[in-house]
Amino acid sequence: MLFAAAALAGVGLRWAIWGDAAGNVIGSVTEPLIRDGADWPIGGGASTEQTAPSGNQAQPGLEATNGGLDVASIAAAVTPGIVDVNVTVAYSGSQAAGTGMVLSSSGLVLTNNHVIQGAGEISVRSVATDQVYAASVVGYDRSHDVALLQLENAADLATVTLGDSSEVEVGDSIVVIGNAGGDGGEPTSVAGVVAGLNREIVAMGPSGAEQLTGLIEVAADVQSGQSGGPTVNGQGEVIGITTAASGGYSFEESGGAGFAVPIQQALDIVAQIQRGVSVGSVHVGPTAFLGVQVVSSQAEDYGYGAPAGGQAIAGAVVSGVLPDTPAQSAGVQEGDVITGLDGSSISSASELTAALGLLDPGDTVEVTWIDPSGVEHGASVVLMAGPPS
């Protein structure tokens, strides 16, 4: 489910799709996914590198269509491996919902990171059995919008069938399946076609932007709540994780536009998570938490970040401090601008979140901030465990 909210450092509660930009062709080498002590068969085992359409634009004239597919039969085959992901957001208690795909019979579930961002509790309902499981976050990659969950006490679950996203071409027929609207029940299925490859979009919230690259664009009526679910080909094989729908696109006034993370890209991230080491944008295990809500320092937009009539200070502007957290203990207050963490400069809210993503609960770090009067402060704090960011 996509909606905009302030970000908890390091927790961005939700994203909203802001727009797109010209993307670059990217590639990555697929590695075997460790599953229950064995190698997971990944279709093709090829690179995700593909040739982008000229100018990285969708092909004109493409519109949502069933492409001759038997959508009902495809959905019936895929649905047993789908789950509803229901989230209670930490501190606010608000609810959110999305979709997930079962990768292993023992309960590994693939979904979008934005579906579980800020989660205090996660419950997952198997569409096939209607059984509900508590879930924990194994790891996530914010910059690619991928998260891996583990269901508690799960066994003998049906799994999705994985395809090969490197073989996807513009014009291919696809079906998007998931928990449209977050209402639960039987998943909704919509047909469409691949409209573009290696697309780049900007996921935008008050805390700043995340650029998602290498995406498959589809002309299909994708809806919030289907995020984290499968985009499948005509054989019912997963070729992507449905990640975003944008109302700013239309194709011949028929259907909308959606985007999917190529499944090979997602499985590369899953493999890195299973190695158990946080590296780059991949975070493994509990999230280090400072306890502030932050926005980027754009005084003209947020009314923060400019001390005593001066220029806005580059940093993460504190729009709220949560009780009983390291930030509160250190004396950080609303209106302060965090400019440094653990010896590194911080110029935006997203930089603060990214820096915290490389740390662990229990780490001791130095935090530097400037108050609204322009006075600089610093304190040593011990980070606590918090919601996934």
Catalytic residues: 114, 145, 227
Residue type, 251: F
Q: What's phi and psi for 298, nearest 5 deg?
A: -125, 85
For residues 310, 9, 111 and 144, what is the CA-based torsion angle, rounded to 10 degrees? 50
Residues 6+ positions from 262 with CB-CB distance below 8 Å: 48, 165, 166, 168, 214, 215, 216, 239, 240
The answer to whether 218 and 192 have CB atoms below 8 angstroms apart is: yes
Q: Torsions phi, psi of 42, nearest 5?
A: -100, 125
State how far the Cα of 357 lies from the Cα of 284, in Å rounded to an integer: 9
**How many CA atoms within 13 Å lie on the side-chain side of 62?**
24
